[in-house]
Amino acid sequence: GQQVMQIPQYQHVQEGEDFTTYCNSSTTLSNIQWYKQRPGGHPVFLIQLVKSGEVKKQKRLTFQFGEAKKNSSLHITATQTTDVGTYFCAGLSGTYKYIFGTGTRLKVLA
């Protein structure tokens, strides 16, 4: 079946450093969504990418969707302690069914 992998699994950074997580699907995706889950919390929707090669920014966060629509990335510039959490990508498999990536857990050291 379809798989969505994310790397790295864990990332520890010093506050102020940049962070990137990569998402790779075994099949072409119709769109991709990104979620953030704080420790002890639930996933919260961040953004959706639909077009091939699309780039979107939210303040310090930059999201990209690959040209082949099989991969995506999330880049955080100058991390802050509030960025701590697990970041998931979720790819649309067929219709109405999102397959979540394995997640990248980010720790930010002050």
Partner 1 sequence: KAGVTQTPRYLIKTRGQQVTLSCSPISGHRSVSWYQQTPGQGLQFLFEYFSETQRNKGNFPGRFSGRQFSNSRSEMNVSTLELGDSALYLCASSQGASNSPLHFGNGTRLTVT
Return residues touching partner 1 (CB under 8 A).
Answer: 1, 30-31, 33, 35, 41-45, 48, 50, 88, 90, 92, 94-103
Give 17 or 46: the residue with its C-beta nearer to partner 1.
Answer: 46
**What are 76's two structure tokens?**
């955080």
Nearest approach, Cβ of residue 23 and partner 1 (Å): 12
| CA atoms within a 13 Å half-sphere pointing along the CA-CB vector of 63 | 23
Concatenate the DSSP letters of all residues of 18-47 into one string.
-EEEEEEESS--S-EEEEEE-TTS-EEEEE
Give 2 or 80: the residue with its C-beta nearer to partner 1.
Answer: 2
**What are 70's two structure tokens?**
């099989």
Nearest approach, Cβ of residue 17 and partner 1 (Å): 25
Give 43 or 66: the residue with its C-beta nearer to partner 1.
Answer: 43
